[in-house]
Chains A and B, each alone.
Chain A
Amino acid sequence: MSEKIKVLIAKPGLDGHDRGAKVVARAFRDAGFEVIYTGLRQTPEQIVNAAIEEDVDAIGVSILSGAHNHCFSEIMQLLKHNSIEDIMVFGGGIIPDDDVTYLKSIGVAEIFGPGTPTADTVDFVKTNVRKGNE
């Protein structure tokens, strides 16, 4: 058995648009990752708790409700609070450029907007994950 890269795909907030999250989860699976899918309407606490219990390397957050600044900053704070900032966080959804700048400033590794080929997301995670441990 080998060490697999584990990714948590999470859907915080109240929007029910999970197609994107499911497509990305599938792309990671096909690239040989282990994907934990949380399902809809997860609170930041639930997401971070799942990340701890499953010992994941990265968290991918899909959000289309417009509450991204709030949700991401909660998640980043909770990771810090639990001393697990080494988990990489990336995101996808309808997120304006200005907000992308803000999200990166609080430690989100990358935001993938609409139209991003799934291969780009997978490659990004493959290249950048576990950097904090090295």
Chain B
Amino acid sequence: MSFDASLIGRFLKGDKRACARIISIVEDRRPGYEEYIEAIQPHVGSAYVVGITGPPGVGKSTLINKLAAGFLESNANIAVIAVDPSSPFTGGAVLGDRIRIGEIGLNPKFYFRSLSSRGSLGGLSEAAVDVIRVMDAFKKEIILVETVGTGQNEVDVMRACDTTVVVTMPGTGDDIQAQKAGILEIGNIFVINKADRDGVERTLRELQTMLMMNPLNDKYETPIILTRSNTGDGIKEVKTAVERHRDYLESSGWLSIKRSERNVRAFKNLINSKIIDEINLIISHHHGYDDIETQVKNGGLSPHRASIQLMEYINKKILCR
């Protein structure tokens, strides 16, 4: 596929179809996608990225929809990127987050895009980060990114955001425990949604206890906000909390540190996945590979022994280059 400069031209004029096509190119990692990223790069850097994460069913999509409506009311240009899991077996996915878009769907300042995780090793975060870049260059001022808060991929996506909002709900106390080591460490704002349900005090207490264990920061206190996203209760407070966290990051200088760390991480992730592609290419050209796999299948060779054999071959190939 050759680079289409007219697509960039239309993109920079604000053509939604051109933006949609560039997102697809970047998301699919089509050959030459880097050129598109390069072409839009000078226009990147003005968007503020808010990640919203939490277990399935806590009401993230509805919350995001209401939050987006709130930002639209302040006349901001908004994008939502919703990441949904794909089947690890068929690679297929049903992306249903659009269901929650209300009347804001047709607002010309609003753009909603679904992404599937495509079951790739770490690939999700890079692709999602690049899609964020495209939205940024498309003059979106606030980009809301939604992920299901489980697994390393999703944590990586959240690390690409300026503010991370972790959403939970009453009755998921054990969930909070289970998530402690992951997403909770990077939450800047906590939301207990469906706050009219039983057990809200307990969930609040657990979150408070957990936050007390965080290192002290006298400039920023992590808020816990109770919401009911279906009625809209508490949404304003979430919006205010996002703005307050942004002020803190900007005034303390943390925002630029965060962003430069992010660039380094993107670079490292890209290198890692390019190395994996390169090695897989070597393996695909190895005539003896099928034989090794057959032996593993028959039990003639242990998986570990086979991996050592294959690595020896790969090392030799790399040295010969």
Which of A's residues lie within 8 Å of B, judged by CB? 1-4, 25-26, 28-39, 45-46, 49-50, 52-55, 82-84
Contacts and interface: CB of A to CB of B under 8 A. Distances in A.
Interface stretch (B67-75, B95-103, B187-195, B233-241): B95-103
Given A38-B98, A39-B96, A4 B113 contact: no
A34 B93 contact: yes
Nearest to B111: A53
A38 B20 CA distance: 17
Interface residues of B, number: 33
Given A1-B118, A36-B98, A55-B17, 11 more contacts: A1-B27, A1-B29, A3-B28, A34-B86, A34-B93, A35-B92, A36-B114, A37-B96, A39-B100, A82-B17, A83-B17
13 contacts: A1-B27, A1-B28, A3-B30, A28-B92, A33-B92, A35-B92, A35-B94, A35-B95, A37-B94, A45-B106, A49-B105, A83-B17, A84-B17
Interface centre among A26, A34, A37 (most CB of B within 10 A): A34
Majority SS at the chain A contact face: mixed
A34 B21 contact: no
Contacts of A30: 87, 90, 92
A53 B112 contact: yes
A81 to B, nearest CB: 12
Contacts of B113: 53-54
A73 B30 CA distance: 34
Contacts of B112: 50, 53
Given A1-B123, A35-B94, A37-B95, A54 B105 contact: no
B260 interface: no
Contacts of A29: 87, 90, 92-94
B23 interface: yes
Contact of B114 (A1, A49, A54): A54
